[in-house]
Amino acid sequence: MWVLLGIAVIVAGFMLRFNPLLVVAISALVTGLAAGINPVEVLAAFGKSFNDARYVSVIYIVLPVIGILERHGLQQRARTAISALKGATVGRLLLGYLVFRQLTAALGLTSIAGPAQTVRPLVAPMAQAAAEAQGADPDSDDVPAIAAATDNIGLFFGEDIFIAIGSILLMKGVLEGYGMFVEPLDLAVWAIPTAICAFLIHGFRLLMLDRKLARARTSSPAVEASK
């Protein structure tokens, strides 16, 4: 049970608002020492994990590129493109993005979209433009928030369908620790009904958002005055 000290270190570190990277590193060190692992072996495990995940540093290249594109009018182009489409609504747009996010996550392509890569520079401005065309308040943060929520829901409930995702492997390891042996495919299959339910529930919310905007537009003072 001493190995659980690592969890206590994480909880205490986050409560005291210490540097997250430092907290995680100390937690891993404490866990390794409590498990009787040599400090050199713990350090070697750190080095191996860093080397295996070195592709994570690609984000330091991607973010500046996205920033340059935004500076040169990427968001404005996205808003113009969606404004030119007849019948485009915020609900339909985000529903299509939800389908895309869930399907790609289910195939293991979890990094091709996300809050930084697609929501902020593309999806949120397009949704905001569609909402404004429906009469929404241009200064409201509701539409960008629901765009980010759509991305999170699509990823969270779609990635578990992919058998090689970290969460599936974690569940498999935990269950094996209790003597229950299951295949990753079995866990992935049981994630499909949950993903379908998440799609139906959030898709319904998006369509209700369209109806809400339509009712607000018909009852606005400007529309009433024109009547």
Is residue 208 domain-shared with residue 119, that is, in the same domain? yes
Q: Is residue 58 part of a domain?
A: no
**Quick check: 68 pLDDT over 80?**
no
Domain count, the chain: 2
Question: Taking the alpha carbons of 74, 80, 83, 84 in that order, is the dihedral positive or negative?
Answer: negative
Find the range with the poorest average confidence among 76-80, 123-127, 141-145.
76-80
* pTM score over 0.85: no
Is residue 33 domain-shared with residue 124, that is, in the same domain? no
The band of 41, judged by pLDDT with boundaries at 50, 70 and 90, is confident
Is residue 99 domain-shared with residue 135, that is, in the same domain? yes
| Cβ atoms 187, 172 nearer than 8 A | yes
**Quick check: 145 pLDDT over 90?**
yes
Instruction: Find tokens 């607000």 and name the residue.
Output: 216
Is residue 206 domain-shared with residue 119, that is, in the same domain? yes
Higher-pLDDT residue of 181, 60: 181
The band of 84, judged by pLDDT with boundaries at 50, 70 and 90, is confident
pLDDT score for 97 = 95
**Quick check: 32 pLDDT over 70?**
yes
Q: Residue 184's domain spans which residues? A: 74-219
Across the range 58-85, mean pLDDT stands at 72
Q: Is residue 198 part of a domain?
A: yes
Is residue 39 domain-shared with residue 134, that is, in the same domain? no
Is residue 41 domain-shared with residue 86, that is, in the same domain? no
CA distances (Å), origin 69, targets 14, 94, 124: 35, 22, 15
The band of 63, judged by pLDDT with boundaries at 50, 70 and 90, is low
Q: Is residue 60 part of a domain?
A: no
pLDDT score for 56 = 52
Q: Is residue 131 part of a domain?
A: yes
Q: Is residue 63 part of a domain?
A: no
Q: Is residue 69 part of a domain?
A: no
Is residue 25 domain-shared with residue 122, that is, in the same domain? no
Q: Is residue 2 part of a domain?
A: yes
Is residue 26 domain-shared with residue 93, that is, in the same domain? no
Question: Rounded to the nearest 5°, which phi and psi values hold at 50?
Answer: -65, -40
pLDDT score for 101 = 94
Is residue 88 domain-shared with residue 38, that is, in the same domain? no
Is residue 140 domain-shared with residue 48, that is, in the same domain? no
Is residue 45 domain-shared with residue 89, that is, in the same domain? no
Q: Is residue 89 part of a domain?
A: yes
User: Tens digits of per-residue pLDDT, 163-188?
Assistant: 877 778 788 888 888 888 888 888 88
Question: In the predicted model, what is the mean pLDDT of the chain?
Answer: 82
Is residue 110 domain-shared with residue 185, that is, in the same domain? yes
- The DSSP code sequence of the chain is -GGGHHHHHHHHHHHTT--HHHHHHHHHHHHHHHTT--HHHHHHHHHHHHHHTGGGGGHHHHHHHHHHHHHTTHHHHHHHHHHTSTT--HHHHHHHHHHHHHHHHHTT-TTSS-IIIIIIIIIHHHHHHHHHHTT--TT-SHHHHHHHHHHHHHHHHHGGGSTTSHHHHHHHHHHHHTT----HHHHHHHHHHHHHHHHHHHHHHHHHHHHHHHHHHHTSHHHHHH-
pLDDT score for 51 = 62
Q: What percent of the chain has pLDDT over 70?
A: 88
Higher-pLDDT residue of 46, 133: 133
